[in-house]
Amino acid sequence: MREIVFDTETTGFDPATGDRIVEIGCIELLNRIPTGATFHTYINPERDMPPSAEAVHGLSEEFLADKPLFAEVAEKFLEFIGTDSKLVAHNAGFDMTFIDFELKKCGLVPPTRDRVIDTLTLARRKHPGGGNKLDDLCVRYGIDNSRRTKHGALLDAELLAEVYAELAGGRQANLGLVAAVREEFSVTTVVTFSREVRQASLLTDAEREAHRKFVATLGENAVWLEYLEGEKLPAAE
């Protein structure tokens, strides 16, 4: 199951009144485990940066002046999110309103809303009456958000991926083996779309060794031997 956790930063609250996207960050998940594939870009909004917005994300008009326009990265963004992967965001209605506006402005078709999962809605259902901002959820689940001194699309997407795993039932990475083959390339000097080979398993060497010792006690007809073919088993104790 492929899902994309994403976040945007903007100049304000409403594209209908002239606000624009200034940053997009996306994280690819397979079976809710990050694969290492990401999409990230800063965007020139073609307008000024209100001080109130800059105070949130720290992106100035001067910093964004030489960054690509949304139209220049739109196709790569759509390529990364694919046509059927679920799209996960916190307060997703806000992000999707801007994504829809920007894509339609480029003459492109936005993702359908049935693909969208709103983690804010999930959090409110799971923790009614509790604090459900991203920082609140990081504290609740013991996720280190100390780097989040300001909002940043890619960092927020990384944190949200961990929060989403908890909201969806808890992180059980020891039970998951995900092999993902990816290539790596650069979209522009400021847009990164990276993919790499990664096997997501958090078993320790000690745990693997303990398992091999256990299998060695099961006898020569044990089914587990088929899965450890080629590995040298320790002598049974």
**Residues that are catalytic:** 151
DSSP codes, the chain: -EEEEEEEEESSS-GGGT--EEEEEEEEEETTEEEEEEEEEE---SS---HHHHHHH---HHHHTTSPPHHHHHHHHHHHHTTT-EEEETTHHHHHHHHHHHHHHTT-PPPPGGGEEEHHHHHHHHSTTS--SHHHHHHHTT---TT-SS--HHHHHHHHHHHHHHHTT---GGG--EEE----EESSSS-EEE---EEE----HHHHHHHHHHHHTS-TT-THHHHTTTSPPPPP-
